[in-house]
Amino acid sequence: MFGRKQRDLMPAPPEYGPSVPKPFSELLPQGQESALGRLARTARIPDDARALVRALDTETTLTLQFLAHDSAAVRDVYEVEQIRDEHTLAVVESYVSVPGAEKAALPDGRSLAAVLVANLTTLLEATREVQRRTAERGEQQMQVNDMFLRDKFGSGDDSLRLPPTD
């Protein structure tokens, strides 16, 4: 306004690679940045927590896309939405709200940064468990379809089939 340049307080985005997944919002051309993507740019969180927030952003979004095709997965959809929209935000915001969180510790001796990383890891593991259950349901459905189609249309032992009605 008065000829001063505003300082950018956000850290530069990390280099993406095998250890730092690209946020889902960057996988789509000109996609809107998600709440978790914005949260990952918070300057006060440790780098390992930032990587976990980005991983949660990507994996929760991908999991919800897979679950969108499974009408029986209402509970899983709710759980992943809670992880993405509430739990991750609450964990990071509680860390950021503590002055000097980088050096603070809980009474049991764990640093707040270690607790943050442990909580985010727990949320990521919960998301991956939902992914595993979703894949398992899909595999079971494929087995059922395979058995049905082989029984109905496959050539095999016809001794147990009913004779055709005239």
How much of the chain, in percent, has pLDDT values that exceed 70? 74
Q: What is the pTM of this model?
A: 0.70
**Residue range 139-164: average pLDDT?**
76
State pLDDT tens for residues 52-110: 999 999 999 999 988 888 777 899 999 999 999 999 999 999 999 999 888 888 889 89
Residue 21: pLDDT over 90: no
What's residue 6's pLDDT? 58
Let me know if residue 8 belongs to a domain.
Answer: no
Amino acid at 109: G
What's residue 103's pLDDT? 87
Domain that holds residue 106: 24-150
Question: Alpha-carbon distance 153 to 128, whole Å?
Answer: 37
Contacts of 31 (CB under 8 A, 6+ apart): 24, 25
**Residue range 28-48: average pLDDT?**
80
Let me know if residue 160 belongs to a domain.
Answer: no
pLDDT band at 137 (very low <50, low <70, confident <90, very high): confident
Which of 32-36, 95-99, 147-151 holds the top average pLDDT? 95-99
Let me know if residue 10 belongs to a domain.
Answer: no
> How many domains does the structure of the chain reveal?
1
What's residue 127's pLDDT? 96
Let me know if residue 1 belongs to a domain.
Answer: no
Let me know if residue 166 belongs to a domain.
Answer: no
Let me know if residue 162 belongs to a domain.
Answer: no
Amino acid at 146: D
State pLDDT tens for residues 101-134: 888 888 898 999 999 999 999 999 999 999 999 8
Cα end-to-end span (Å), the chain: 90
Residue 145: pLDDT over 60: yes
Structure tokens at 4: 């001063």
What's residue 115's pLDDT? 94
Let me know if residue 9 belongs to a domain.
Answer: no
What's residue 163's pLDDT? 67
Let me know if residue 124 belongs to a domain.
Answer: yes
